[in-house]
Amino acid sequence: MNEHSEHPAIQANMDSIRLASQGDKEGWLVLYANDAVVQDPVGISPFDATGEGHVGKEAISKFWDDVIGPSNITLTVHKRIPSGDRACAVHQTAVNNMGGDLKTEVEMVAIYELNDEGKIQRMSAFWSWAAMEEQLKAMGLM
C-alpha cells in the first residue's frame, strides 16, 4: 500500500508501523516532536483517563511501555489518504494476539499530522474502546 509513500505523513505512518513491529522504541520515539500528542484511542480509555492524550515525549514513551511494547499487534493497512502537505488518514485493522486462541481485533482510522520539521505533532487513532471491552469480556479477561 505505497501509492503515496513519498508523502511525508504517509512515510511517517509507514515508519511508525515498521518500528513498532520491530520493537524499536527509540527509533519510534524519534518520529515524534518533543511536544507531540498521541491519542490512541481518541477520548477517555484505560490508557488515557483524561481523554486529552499523551502529551510530550515522556508521556509518549510511557504509552509505549504500557501499551505498544508489551502487545503483539499486527496492523493491516487498508488505505492511506494524504491530506495537504503534512497530514494523512490511515484506515487499518489492529489484531492483538494475546496467546493461544485469544485475539482482539479493532478497526480504526488513524490521523497523522506533522510539524514544519517533519516530526509527528499529533497522532489520533479513532477506534472504539467499548468494542474492545466487549471482546475482552467475551474472552473472560475483564
pLDDT at 96 over 80: yes
Q: Which of 33-47, 54-68, 87-101 bottoms out in mean pLDDT, i.e. has the lowest?
A: 87-101
Residue 75 burial (C-beta neighbours within 10 Å; 0-12, 13-18, 19+): middle
So what's the pLDDT on residue 6?
87
So what's the pLDDT on residue 32?
98
So what's the pLDDT on residue 100?
81
- Chain-centroid distance of CA 47 in Å reads 12
Alpha carbon distance 74, 76 (integer Å): 7
Q: What is the CATH number of domain 8-138?
A: 3.10.450.50
Closest CA to 40 of 117, 102, 118, 132: 132
3-state DSSP assignment of residue 128: coil
So what's the pLDDT on residue 98?
84
pLDDT at 69 over 50: yes
Give the chain's mean pLDDT.
Answer: 93
pLDDT at 58 over 70: yes
Beta bridge pairs of residue 38 = 54, 123
Alpha carbon distance 127, 134 (integer Å): 13
pLDDT at 2 over 60: no
Beta bridge pairs of residue 130 = none
Three cell numbers written together for 59: 508521556
pLDDT at 4 over 70: no
pTM, 2 dp = 0.92
Question: What's the N-to-C CA distance of the chain in angstroms?
Answer: 35
Alpha carbon distance 91, 62 (integer Å): 25
